[in-house]
Structure 1
């Protein structure tokens, strides 16, 4: 009995010590948080929701209500100016819309991608996701080595040789739309362009013909990963809520599916290369060459190949599909712009089926339409950088150690950069029009700008030109024009259209 009593006393003491240590740790964290607040008090910004949580409750409330978090940043930018502070727990984020600071930071390699965001993209809920691939690598040398080896797959000469595949895959979409028009059906255009861009990236980047029937697991897997990415980045407590476990399991399984697919395709290509077979100089070949540059392949090098596979598989499909969806939506809302771009397409390509590389350069107004789409709806809305040393932005001293956020979405909708910013006006991008600097960057800027920019815009032009050449489309009444924020931005409605064959007799 005495022994049992002694054990109770020891347990009670241990519990008291534990509680004391937890209290001291909490007190220490609070003091550290107070120090962070004092250090940045001179920077303007919205009032915190909470001493401990900062502005996190605002973001979580927007997400819970299905809103677009970037609209909140736009509102704050209009109220607090070209640089202001936002707190996520003890992390200090600085949304920046100052063009001079944007140029200084994004154009220089001395400002690395920020640890807060890009480390969280390494894995999703414990399952490796983008890892240390080309988008997420923070070490400049690791990134530079990958980028240098990837460049040949995106050279102008190589892209010119892809026009046949762009045409061929876009024709599959035209065949589907022909069925829709012949049967007087409605078409979810976002779903259809998602299928064609996924088909294009699989064929051009990885040499694989995908079965994109309704049973295909890839569109759902990509959507699940992106949705999981948003919660993983913006809600630190999401994984601790038991109600979220089924969804977290889905996210992990989706990541595993994409990486397992990559492992299979890489193995098949490696085998072909070892057998001396002719292989295309595509992204998959370059991914393998990245790893082959290492003298001794390690397990991490194998994982790095899969990191880049997942990066290109998702980025090469998702953002272009969303741009096409938004473009179709805006043309449906602006018949006069639609007619003008149709006339240009007719003048340049007429009735011919295969669009040439030179044809793309002549469709100037279509380029303006696509650029204006990305101004209002940048499908990858922004990027961020670590600030390793003190700097001054718009006359405000910025201490080192913060993360600077750059939003093309916010800049594209600020009246000080674009008059009547919510008006869809492709003439803003007329070759002779004056353009503000360093406030339009849907593909980022500087050395870490998007490697696939030209690839994406060639693909978008081919798809849109064929669509405009062959079909008339009108938006089905009653749908919303809201934006769905899934890390990337997409039309919430799906852009449902009535589609008809064009009548050239008129």
Structure 2
């Protein structure tokens, strides 16, 4: 009995001391959060929903309502000015729409990517996701090594050689649309261009034919969707992964990550064996990924996982950007018959009855290029990017203490009357060659040394697909569909852009 009493007393003491320790730690953390508030509260911003959670409840409400969260940021920008703060726990991020600061920070290599933000997508729900690849590498030297090796795969001479693949894959879409036109069924344009752009990136980057239009049961499009959803949920809602109601979704996302990385390992090993056997291999992205791994290995760094990081990065980013841009462009052309008419006239003038688009044709498609740029203004693929402030600085008259994240959003600045007259109007004339250029308020592919490596690739592909589509078909949007935006980490048309398709009267194909 005496032993039992001693154990009971010690258990009571330990429980008491543990509770005291937890209480002291909680109070200490609250004091630290209060200190952070005092440090940054001279900067304007919306009232916090909660002392500890900051603005997280607002983010969760916006996501649960299926609203585009960037519209909330736009409202706050118009209310609080070119610099305002948002709080999450003990961290502060500043949303900046000042063109001068955008130029200074994004164009300079001395501002690294935000380690807190990109750490969130290093892993996804416990599994390595984008890791330390080209997009997510925070350290400048690590990034520079990878970028230097990848650059030749996106040179103008190499891209010129991809025109055959762009035409070939676009032709597969045209053949698919011919069947839809003959059967007079509804075309979900986003789904179809998504298949085409994924086919293109797999063919030109990894040397693999998926032919997704003929194999709609492929798991890859859904895996990409799940990864994007998981990424944005994990960044904006830190409680998502811990909710018992989300366990099924989390498992599905984990399986999607496994599928992409397992596929990457398989394709990389096949290419490595081909190289070892002295077979002829294309000088594509996959070959560059292998070369990157060898250089990192020579420097004593990890290489196998970085190879997979870059595979997943290009697999997802290489198709998502172009697919969304094409979908929104078709949607806006369908909503503006006069713009559609002018674009088709230019296509007919440049291409005539010729089936394939030549590299030389791309520079002649001036108005179509304006249409694509205006699409990117309203629906930018890289909605936002962030940088880390390592030292005290001043932005728009506000002293910014070191140790915070600066968020830039092309979505915000592109929809502000301050920078674009009547900003919600779809007007390709904004990008006429003689029009004044927007001053650091339009950057759909980011800016500076960390801008998107594949932007030229993406725009060449988009021009080929859209040109062939407008040359061969007339279309109209199905009445009653929504033209709202769906935010899945990237922006997509909520209804998928449903169209009725018919052959052009003059078409000879």
Indicate the TM-score class for this superposition, using the shorter chain for normalisation: over 0.9
- Name 2:195's counterpart in structure 1: 195
Q: Deviations over 1:33-70 (max 9, x none)?
A: 11111111110111111111101100000011111100
Q: What's the CA shift for 1:435? A: 1.9
Q: What's the CA shift for 1:166? A: 0.4
Kept in 1, the 8 Å contact 2:170–2:464? The answer is yes
Q: What's the CA shift for 1:373? A: 0.2
Kept in 1, the 8 Å contact 2:206–2:267? The answer is yes
Equivalent of residue 332 in structure 1, options 334, 357, 381? 334
- Secondary structure of 1:293's partner? helix
Runs of 4+ in 1 over 3 A off after TM superposition: 294-299
- Name 2:383's counterpart in structure 1: 381
Q: State the alpha-carbon separation in 2 of the partners of residues 283 and 177 from structure 1.
A: 30
Q: What's the CA shift for 1:294? A: 3.7
- Name 2:84's counterpart in structure 1: 84
- Name 2:355's counterpart in structure 1: 353
Q: Deviations over 1:117-149 (max 9, x none)?
A: 101110101011000000000000000000000
Q: What's the CA shift for 1:379? A: 2.0
Q: Structure 2: which 5+ runs fail to align?
A: none
Equivalent of residue 483 in structure 1, options 475, 482, 485? 485
- Secondary structure of 1:286's partner? helix
Q: State the alpha-carbon separation in 2 of the partners of residues 169 and 297 from structure 1.
A: 39
- Name 1:429's counterpart in structure 2: 431
Q: Deviations over 1:342-362 (max 9, x none)?
A: 000000001111111000010
Kept in 1, the 8 Å contact 2:381–2:445? The answer is no
Q: State the alpha-carbon separation in 1 of the partners of residues 397 and 438 from structure 2.
A: 21
- Name 2:467's counterpart in structure 1: 465
Q: What's the CA shift for 1:381? A: 0.4
Q: State the alpha-carbon separation in 2 of the partners of residues 154 and 295 from structure 1.
A: 23
Q: State the alpha-carbon separation in 2 of the partners of residues 24 and 155 from structure 1.
A: 58
Q: What's the CA shift for 1:297? A: 8.8
Q: State the alpha-carbon separation in 2 of the partners of residues 458 and 298 from structure 1.
A: 37
Q: State the alpha-carbon separation in 2 of the partners of residues 16 and 264 from structure 1.
A: 55
- Name 1:72's counterpart in structure 2: 72
- Name 2:270's counterpart in structure 1: 268
Q: Deviations over 1:390-417 (max 9, x none)?
A: 1111111111111000000001000000
More displaced stretch, 297-306 vs 136-145: 297-306
Relative distance call for 1:407 and 1:294 in structure 2 (3 A) is: closer
- Name 1:137's counterpart in structure 2: 137
Kept in 2, the 8 Å contact 1:123–1:131? The answer is yes
Relative distance call for 1:396 and 1:423 in structure 2 (3 A) is: same
Question: What is the 5 A alignment of 1:32-431?
Answer: 32-212=32-212, 213-296=215-298, 300-431=302-433
Q: Deviations over 1:149-201 (max 9, x none)?
A: 00000000000010001000100100110010010000100000000000000
Kept in 1, the 8 Å contact 2:373–2:428? The answer is yes
More displaced stretch, 239-248 vs 162-171: 239-248
Q: State the alpha-carbon separation in 1 of the partners of residues 196 and 132 from structure 2.
A: 28
Kept in 2, the 8 Å contact 1:476–1:497? The answer is yes
Q: State the alpha-carbon separation in 1 of the partners of residues 304 and 416 from structure 2.
A: 44
Question: What is the 5 A alignment of 1:7-18?
Answer: 7-18=7-18
Q: State the alpha-carbon separation in 2 of the partners of residues 183 and 195 from structure 1.
A: 20
Q: State the alpha-carbon separation in 2 of the partners of residues 350 and 153 from structure 1.
A: 31
Q: State the alpha-carbon separation in 2 of the partners of residues 199 and 385 from structure 1.
A: 33
Q: What's the CA shift for 1:300? A: 2.7
Q: State the alpha-carbon separation in 1 of the partners of residues 335 and 65 from structure 2.
A: 26
> Does 2:454 align with 1:452?
yes
Kept in 2, the 8 Å contact 1:380–1:487? The answer is no
Kept in 1, the 8 Å contact 2:122–2:128? The answer is yes
CA RMSD of aligned residues (A): 1.2
Number of residue pairs matched? 506
Q: State the alpha-carbon separation in 1 of the partners of residues 298 and 467 from structure 2.
A: 47
Q: What's the CA shift for 1:211? A: 4.1
- Secondary structure of 1:280's partner? coil
- Secondary structure of 1:304's partner? helix
Q: State the alpha-carbon separation in 2 of the partners of residues 112 and 426 from structure 1.
A: 34
Q: State the alpha-carbon separation in 2 of the partners of residues 254 and 456 from structure 1.
A: 24
Kept in 1, the 8 Å contact 2:297–2:303? The answer is no
Kept in 2, the 8 Å contact 1:36–1:90? The answer is yes
Q: Structure 1: which 5+ runs fail to align?
A: none
Q: What's the CA shift for 1:436? A: 2.0
Kept in 1, the 8 Å contact 2:130–2:312? The answer is yes
- TM-score after normalising by structure 2: 0.98
Q: What's the CA shift for 1:91? A: 1.0
Q: What's the CA shift for 1:446? A: 0.2
- Name 2:29's counterpart in structure 1: 29
